[in-house]
Amino acid sequence: MSQTNARPSRGLPNAVPFFAAYLLVPLMVWTGLKGGLAPLLVPLTAWYGVSLADRVLGVQPLNADPQTPTRALTAHRLATLLWLPTQTALLIWALAYTTITPSLEIWEKLALFFAMGVLSSAIGIVFAHELLHQPSKLERWSADLLLATALYSHFRSEHLLVHHVHVGTPRDTVTAPYGEGFWRFLIRVVPAGLRSAWRAERRRMHRSDRQTLDAKNPFWRYWALQGIFLFAALVIGGWQGLALFIFQALVAIWHLELINYIEHYGLTRKKLTDGSYELQGAHHSWDSAQRASNWFLINLPRHADHHMHPSRRYPLLQHHGETHAPQLPYGYGVMGFVALFPGFWRRRMNPRVARWRAKYYPEIADWRPYNRRQFRS
Q: Is the pLDDT of residue 2 over 50?
A: no
Bridge partners (DSSP) listed for residue 278: none
Which range has the worst mean pLDDT, 12-21, 166-175, 196-205, 364-373? 364-373
Q: Is the pLDDT of residue 376 over 50?
A: no
Give SS3 for 59. strand
- Angle at which helix 342-360 crosses helix 332-339, to 10 degrees, equals 120
Q: Return mean pLDDT, the chain.
A: 93
Which range has the worst mean pLDDT, 105-109, 203-207, 211-215, 365-369? 365-369
pLDDT digits (tens, 9 = 90+) for 244-288: 999 999 999 999 999 999 999 999 999 888 889 999 999 999 999
Query: What's the pLDDT score for residue 203?
Result: 96
Contact 319, 246 (CB under 8 A): no
- Among 4-8, 345-349, 363-367, top mean pLDDT goes to 345-349
Q: Is the pLDDT of residue 373 over 60?
A: no
Separation CA 280–CA 268 (nearest Å): 10
For residue 53, which of 328, 316, 334, 300 has the smallest C-alpha distance?
A: 334
Query: What's the pLDDT score for residue 134?
Result: 96
pLDDT digits (tens, 9 = 90+) for 67-91: 999 999 999 999 999 999 999 999 9
Q: CB-based contacts of 355: which residues, under 8 Å, 6+ apart?
A: none
pLDDT digits (tens, 9 = 90+) for 140-196: 999 999 999 999 999 999 999 999 999 999 899 999 999 999 999 999 999 999 999
* Phi, psi torsion values for 10, nearest 5 degrees: -130, -170
Separation CA 376–CA 325 (nearest Å): 26
Query: What's the pLDDT score for residue 60?
Result: 86
Q: Is the pLDDT of residue 6 over 60?
A: no
Give SS3 for 139. helix
For residue 39, which of 103, 128, 133, 108 has the smallest C-alpha distance?
A: 108
Q: Is the pLDDT of residue 326 over 90?
A: yes
Q: What confidence category does residue 374 fall into, taking pLDDT thresholds of 50, 70 and 90?
A: very low
Query: What's the pLDDT score for residue 8?
Result: 54
Q: CB-based contacts of 271: which residues, under 8 Å, 6+ apart?
A: 169, 277, 278, 369, 370
* Overall size of the chain counted in residues: 377
Residue 319 per-residue DSSP state? P
Query: What's the pLDDT score for residue 4?
Result: 53
